[in-house]
C-alpha cells in the first residue's frame, strides 16, 4: 500500500487520450487533483468528465507542450488554481511513422519538439514550484522504441525517446537540489488511440510478439507512474522501468514458438 497522494496537484500532459488518460485516471482514483494538459478541448473534456463523474477531480488546461510560453502559462495557471504543482507527468507525444528516405526535416523537428523539447519545457516550468514546496516529482513517458529497440519509420521517434533518457540523467542531478525526483516509464505496445491508428495488422502482429500475449493497458503505465510519484519512491531518481509484457526479451521468432 503506497502512502496516499490525496489532494496532490498532478499535471498529466497528453492526458486527454491513451496512456495519459490512463495515468490521469489512476492518479485521480487515488484522490489526486489532476490537470489534463493537451491541445484539443473535446477529448480533454471527455476525459475530465469521466473522472469527475466517477468521483475524482480533474480539470483541463489547453497547452502545446512544444511551445515554451504555452507550457509556462499552463503550469503557472495550475499552480495558481491548485496551490502548487506536486507531480508533473510529462507524457504527451506523437509517433508519425515515416522512413528516413521519405522524412522531411520539418517532421523530424516536430517529433523532437513534441517528444523531447516538451520534456525539458515541462520540467523547467515546474522548477519554481518544486523549489517553493521543497519537493516534487517528475515522471516521463519514454518508450522501448529508441532506447532498446528499433522499428522502420521511427528514427525520429526513437531518437526523441532516447533523448528523453539522456535528459533524465542530468535533470535528476539538477533537480535533487529541490528534493525532486525524475524517472521514466518505458512502455512497450500499449492499446491507445494513437496505436489504433497504426491499423489492426500492426496490433495483431505486436500482440503475437509479446510473451504475455497481449498489448498493454493504459493502467499498466499509470500504475508504474504512480509508483515513481509515490513517497515510497523518494530515493529513486534518474531511473527507468520497462513495462512491456516481456516484449524485448525474445531473441528470435523461434524463441516465441518455444513458449
Ligand atoms: P495518443 O493516444 O496519440 O495520445 C497522445 C496525447 O498527447 C493526446 O492527449 C494528445 O492530445 C497529446 N498531445 C500530442 N501532441 C501534443 C502537443 N503538441 N501538446 C500537447 N499535447 C499533445 O498517444 P499514446 O499512445 O497515449 O502515447 C502517449 C505517450 O506514450 C507518448 O509520449 C508516446 O510516445 C508514449 N508511448 C506510447 C506507446 C504506445 O504503445 N501507445 C508506447 C511507448 C511510448 P492533443 O492531440 O489534443 O494535443
Residues ≥6 apart with Cβ < 8 Å to 227: 2, 233, 241
Residues ≥6 apart with Cβ < 8 Å to 90: 13, 65, 118, 119, 122, 123, 138, 139, 140, 141
Instruction: Please name the residue that has the C-alpha cell 493502467.
Output: 219
The residue whose CA is least distant from atom 23 of ligand 1 is 194
Indicate whether residue 12 lines ligand 1 (CB < 6 A): no
CA angle 52, 126, 154 (to 5 degrees): 85
If one residue of 11, 19, 72 were mutated to test the ligand 1 pocket, choosing by the most ligand atoms within 8 A of its CB, it would be: 19
Instruction: Please name the residue that has the C-alpha cell 493504459.
Output: 218
Indicate whether residue 160 lines ligand 1 (CB < 6 A): no
E-strand ranges in 14-86 read 33-38, 57-62
> Could you tell me the three cell numbers for 198?
497504426
The distance from CA 126 to its chain's CA centroid, rounded to whole angstroms, is 16
Using CA atoms, how far apart are residues 26 and 125, in angstroms rounded to an integer?
24
DSSP state of 17: S
Residues 220-238, mean pLDDT to the nearest whole number: 98
Residues 224-238, mean pLDDT to the nearest whole number: 98
Distance 258 CA to ligand 1 centre (A): 34
The residue whose CA is least distant from atom 44 of ligand 1 is 143
Distance 141 CA to ligand 1 centre (A): 9
Indicate if the pLDDT at residue 1 is higher than 90: no
Burial of 197 (0-12, 13-18, 19+ CB in 10 A): exposed
Q: Which domains are seen in the chain, by residue range?
A: 9-191+218-246 (3.40.50.720)
Q: pLDDT of 152-173, one tens digit each?
A: 999 999 999 999 999 999 999 9
If one residue of 142, 194, 197 were mutated to test the ligand 1 pocket, choosing by the most ligand atoms within 8 A of its CB, it would be: 194
Distance 18 CA to ligand 1 centre (A): 7
DSSP state of 183: E
The residue whose CA is least distant from atom 18 of ligand 1 is 64
Q: What's this model's pTM, rounded to 2 decimal places? A: 0.98
> Could you tell me the three cell numbers for 200?
489492426
Catalytic site residues?
157
Q: pLDDT of 9-53, one tens digit each?
A: 999 999 999 999 999 999 999 999 999 999 999 999 999 999 999
Indicate if the pLDDT at residue 83 is higher than 90: yes
Residues 96-103, mean pLDDT to the nearest whole number: 98
> Could you tell me the three cell numbers for 204?
495483431
Distance 62 CA to ligand 1 centre (A): 15
Using CA atoms, how far apart are residues 257 and 259, in angstroms rounded to an integer?
5
Per-residue confidence band for 180, with pLDDT thresholds at 50, 70 and 90: very high
* Nearest residue to 24 via CA among 165, 188, 192, 152: 192
What's the pLDDT at 194?
A: 87
Phi and psi angles of residue 197, each rounded to the nearest 5 degrees, phi first: -60, -20
Residues ≥6 apart with Cβ < 8 Å to 67: 121
Q: Is the dihedral of CA 29, 86, 123, 52 positive or negative?
A: positive
Query: Which atom of ligand 1 is closest in space to residue 161's alpha carbon?
Result: 34
The residue whose CA is least distant from atom 41 of ligand 1 is 190
Distance 216 CA to ligand 1 centre (A): 15
Amino acid at each position: 500500500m503506497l502512502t496516499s497522494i490525496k489532494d496532490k496537484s498532478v499535471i498529466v500532459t497528453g492526458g486527454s487520450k491513451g496512456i495519459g488518460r490512463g495515468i490521469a485516471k489512476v492518479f485521480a482514483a487515488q484522490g489526486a487533483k489532476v490537470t489534463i494538459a493537451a491541445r484539443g478541448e473535446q477529448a480533454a473534456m471527455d476525459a475530465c468528465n469521466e473522472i469527475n463523474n466517477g468521483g475524482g477531480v480533474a480539470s483541463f488546461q489547453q497547452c502545446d507542450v512544444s511551445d515554451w510560453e504555452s507550457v509556462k502559462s499552463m503550469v503557472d495557471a495550475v499552480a495558481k488554481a491548485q496551490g502548487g504543482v506536486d507531480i508533473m507527468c510529462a507524457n504527451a507525444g506523437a509517433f508519425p511513422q515515416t522512413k528516413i528516405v521519405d522524412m522531411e526535416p520539418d517532421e523530424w523537428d516536430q517529433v523532437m519538439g513534441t517528444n523531447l523539447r516538451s520534456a525539458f519545457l515541462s520540467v523547467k516550468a515546474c522548477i519554481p514550484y518544486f523549489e517553493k514546496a521543497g519537493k516534487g516529482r517528475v515522471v516521463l513517458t519514454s518508450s522501448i522504441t529508441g532506447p532498446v529497440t528499433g522499428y522502420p519509420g521511427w528514427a525520429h521517434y526513437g531518437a526523441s525517446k532516447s533523448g528523453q533518457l539522456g535528459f533524465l540523467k542530468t535533470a535528476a542531478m539538477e533537480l535533487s537540489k529541490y528534493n525532486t525526483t525524475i524517472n521514466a516509464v518505458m512502455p512497450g505496445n500499449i492499446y491507445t488511440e494513437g496505436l489504433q491508428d497504426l491499423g489492426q495488422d500492426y496490433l495483431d502482429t505486436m500482440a503475437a510478439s509479446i510473451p504475455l500475449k497481449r498489448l498493454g493497458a493504459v493502467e499498466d503505465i499509470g500504475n508504474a507512474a504512480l509508483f515513481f510519484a509515490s513517497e515510497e519512491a523518494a530515493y529513486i531518481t534518474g531511473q527507468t522501468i520497462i513495462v512491456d509484457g516481456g516484449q524485448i526479451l525474445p531473441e528470435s521468432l523461434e524463441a516465441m514458438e518455444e513458449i
